[in-house]
Amino acid sequence: MNTDNDRIILRGMTFYGYHGARPEERFLGQRFVVDLEVGADLRTAGKSDDLAHTIDYGELYGETKRILEGPPLNLLEAVAERIAASALRHDGARWARVRVHKPGVPITGSILTEATVEITRVAARFDGDG
């Protein structure tokens, strides 16, 4: 049985942080929205109904919150990398896809809803190159 499509999805996690390359972003802060997908074989958890057999959603949320509300970073790319790395430290995590949305983009003269960075990373233990 193929479990490559099994995933845990946390969508719309919203935090207030001070990330950005501009001084005003680091001073005033702003809202960030994060979507996190973590690929894992969920069969055992589905059969056992036991939290010990899956990745705890609350832990994923808490780790993401600590990163977003923690020390400021210049780039959304750096924020996304830290979230992915944190998610991939969980036993059974095969891959992580992270979307970091920045709804209030301070680009002079811009008319846009948001800027978003999306990355996908594979755990070294599941990567054919590692």
pLDDT in tens, 5-37: 899 999 999 999 999 998 888 899 999 999 999
The residue segments making up the domain with residue 66 are 7-126
- DSSP H/E element including 11: strand 7-17
Q: Could you tell me if residue 1 is inside a domain?
A: no
Q: Could you tell me if residue 42 is inside a domain?
A: yes
Q: Could you tell me if residue 2 is inside a domain?
A: no
CATH of residue 86 = 3.30.1130.10
Residue 39 neighbours by CB under 8 Å, 6+ apart: 4, 6, 7, 93, 94, 95, 96, 97
Task: Dig out the tokens for 12 from the structure.
Answer: 């719309």
Domain count, the chain: 1
Which residues form the catalytic set?
102
Q: Could you tell me if residue 84 is inside a domain?
A: yes
- What is the value of pTM for the model shown? 0.90
pLDDT by residue (tens digit) across 66-121? 999 999 999 999 999 999 999 999 999 999 999 999 997 766 666 678 889 999 99
Q: Could you tell me if residue 79 is inside a domain?
A: yes
Q: Given phi > 0 = left and psi -120 to 50 = alpha, else beta, which region is 96?
A: beta
